Structure 1
Amino acid sequence: MGEGMKITKINELKSVYDIAMKLVTGETAGKLDEAYLNRVFAPSFNAYGPDEAAICSNLQEFRDRMAKLRTILDFSSLLKEPSAVERSYSPGKIAAVYIDKFRQQIKDAPLLRVSTFLFKTDDGWQVTHMHLSFPSSFSKPTVSKPLEDEAQSNQNYKIQLEERTRALNDSLEVLKATQAQLLRQEKLASLGQLTAGIAHEIKNPLNFINNFSELSLEFLDEIKEQLEKLDPNEATEEINFLLEDVKANLAKIYQHGTRADGIVKSMLLHSRGGNGKMEDVDLNTLIREYVNLAFHGMRANKNPINVDIQLDTDPGLGLVKMNAENFSRVILNLCKNAFDAMREKLEQKDTKDYTPKLIVRTKHLQDKVIVEVEDNGPGVPEGIKEKLITPFFTTKKGSEGTGLGLSISMDIIQSHGGVMDITTKEKEFTCFTIKLNKEGPGPDKK
């Protein structure tokens, strides 16, 4: 078999499986080069059986074990084509389990059962584990003294195998969590596109409302100027009164239309995601917009609550170099967590006199910027405080929390060269304090 053919066939599940079966029967003994076998069998390959002492932690041990067993057991009497018992595949067909039984040509000879575990890598399919066994009713062969001497050594391998299994289980849990995260991100991406589409459609008619209300206000001023040129009488006075009412109504329309336009712009910025650029940003204005957006988002969802929101912004703060789109997510996440915490406290007993309060402060200290988001919710127990920014850790029930909000917020803050501290007292308050460099992160963070 040429090297080109080997590389082609190693990507095929059946070719890899066939090589594993031939190693069991000894059909390929001495016929395959090491490089080829190392591509067929994973670096982490291990095997067990068929005798109790046979725990092999790598391919070479497995080959040696099979060679020794072939000197004791008459593997030559095995039928070359096994009978399939099970063929199982993982979702996406990236892993497979093949279970086969080998019948021997000798009458009343026991079956040999072989389980083969295969995994698909970027380089093709590889064998990761094999398990060989005889029926429980079959008296296992008495192995030679060299095999017995290795029993203790293989006991150590068994311990290592158990440890490796635990590690693989841990890795599996991480993979499941990562998969769940990817699904959430996909849903969030779809939601972002939907939000952008809705916001864009709202913005078009909103522009007409704002523009024509502003234009109508100018027309009213012109009408008043023309009326003043006429001789005053009862009719002109009545018209003036009506014009004042219309002007006041139009001013309200323009005021609320402008506010709605600001909300739509914030939605568009948030749904489009960050462009990765650090720019000079009016942080006080950004905080006002996104605290307001977070509040109205909470009010529009289930179980809305009333919150006394206090903004204590430093007028001397000026412009701060940051990624506005990314940092806005931090404000939204912190406000959302605060609203959820205060709702939880509000639902507890003996909270008749409790009023949810959110305080957001900004301070300018030399070359630093301080942002504080404080709520008077139930606080955080000391045992949980250290876990808050751990990915996937959440104190919320069911599917209400992803456990990613604070983790993502911390990543964004660190990308700005900043830090975030948590101060809390059970049953009283929680305060998140963010410290940033006013001129942005260092060169390695930009």
Structure 2
Amino acid sequence: MKFFCLIGLLCLPTLAFCASDTTFINVQSDVLLQNNHILIFRDQSGQLPFEKIKTIDAFLPPAHHIPNLGVSRGVIWLKFTLYNETNNEQLLICLKKPNLNEVRLYYPIDSKGSYTYINSGDLLPPSTHKFNDPNSIFTVPIQPYSAATLYIRVKSIGQIVLPVIAGTQDNIVRDINNDRLIFGIYLGIILIMLFYNFFIYFSVRDKNYLYYIIYIFFIGFAQIGLEGYGYQYLWGSSTFIILQSVNWMGVLSGIATTVFLRVFLQTKKKTPLFDKVLIGFIILYVITGLLTLFGIYNLSYTLIDIIAFTGSFAFLGAGVKMASENYRPAKFFLVAWSFFLASIILYVVKDFGIIPYNFFTNNILLIGSSIEIALLSFALADTINVYKKEKEISQAQAIQALREKEEFASQQNVILEKKIHERTNQLQETNNDLELTLRQLKESQSQLVDAEKMASLGQLTAGIAHEINNPINFVKSNVKPLQLDIEDMRSLIKKYEEMHHDNFDDKHGEIQAFREQIDFDYVMEEINTLLSGIEDGATRTADIVKGLRTFSRLDESDLKEADIREGIDNTLMLLNHTIPKDLSIIRNYQEIPKIECYPGKLNQVFMNLLTNAIQAMGSSVGGGEKKIIISTERLNENVVIRIADTGPGIPENVRDRIFEPFFTTKDVGEGTGLGLSIVYNIIEKHHGKITVQSEENKGTEFIITLPMKQSDFLDVNTTATTSDSEEPLNR
């Protein structure tokens, strides 16, 4: 008998927890607190302290499966009890609703009823969140096989839906990672569709694609904001943007949707009355945006919901009407919009408990939005095909009309032949000039390599190819159309040559039809345009060769007056293809006079130092801003050039040896160690000085001081030796 009484006493705590709707947490999975496990109290004044809240008996179960409080001005209190059936001493509470402004969780710290709290919400910086997630996640100490009653205080603008999930850290983190995976897939779809349609827009130049790109961007941006990732990664430090963001996501996405619908369905042309309704929706969205700017958040949020709800079904009705009139774009839109509208309905009824809250229903908006965007893309492609077919029919009719026209043009034969001969000679001369330019460029490359003006042949070739590729491609692309035009002209001349007295009338009609077929005037205009384009390409190529010659200064082995800044800029031009996008080049040029120097040798110095700085920035692993700062100034009778970077710096134990020949810190085969030694010798030949200032993890600065006049140091017949070789400098 005593044994059964003891068993009964041991079971009493469990029975008590069951009677009070306690939520039991185990290691199998996390638990969504439903309306029979959670109580709610509305503090309309928002002023009641927690000590008062603990004593209130006015907590009631929520009316819906998931607590859905709508738009509330006051403070919402949640109360629930958890029983820890695991061996973990801590459980996680996740309030799976981003963009809540103020969230505070109270939990007991002893058996005397003392509580402490943890703050969360998007009014706090993202860095204060223990978990890298936009949702409010709390770590609560609850001893194994014991219970605790918890309170959550929520105050926020907009609609307040509070799905509370409790579980072990492993289960909650797994749930969070699943949500991130789904959103990552959604974001990938958005980016793919953006780039894909952006490419198509530049191919077809159809404004439907431009508005569709804008629509995709704002829909994706709205989802980023509504899922809390905007707060987490973009504007988490700005309270003003946080309070504005949710409403503006709705405003911008609503306007983008309405504008795209007007263009895609051609409502101004097809249904003028509905087009005015769409303009009215845009005006209403703008008004709600202004209300948001003035801080009237709850009213504007409610108006945005009403506009979006009304507009969704208005769009659907318009799609049904236009589809019934056999308008193809409307049929595609109707299918796509139906999927999206169905996802919205499922998402809403999930919040009201009509369908279960699970992984699928929680992400149904992202799924529906992805399907809608894909279907609309198919609709645009179908529209382009329709336009293309209509254009082909129109072109066929135009050609048929041109063939029906007759004009006499036999007197144009001599003039036409003469012009063709002149254009052919011009083309041949241009091609010869281009070939000569290319030969000169190759010779310049060879001379630069022989003079060892570059760190390596590959680097020089890449720089030249990068700069000259565009004009050469432009010339090449013009040659083929020009050949086709000349072939048409030859065909026309041949038909004129076949004319005789006995077949004059027949041949005359045939020649006139052929002239109209090839559009003689247009062909002549196109030949002039293509020749002009080829001439521009050849001129651009010559300019590039001139800049390359300026850099190399092969004809300036004697002392010359040169502009140091011009040499630096030409060096940067050749290194442009090696500069990463995240590396900034800052020029702080002061006015300095031309100096007496060996320009080619100084360009070699700049090439070595800049190449090494770019390589140093590429190997830097720090998170700071990457930049190279180039400064010039005059100091008495000298000029000073400073080349500084924000790279990893030079260790102190090797700093004193960097100018030694063959000293290098690189692996075998990656450098000879002659780079800085050559730089040092060239500066000495100029009777100048080079120094280095460097600090590890902060960067390096090379300071070059050169006299403006070399004649004070050298005899008149002194010339620069040309035996130095160029190597990239090594740190």
TM-score calculated relative to the size of structure 1: 0.40
State the structure with more CA Rg: 2
More strand by share: 1
- More helix as a share of residues: 2
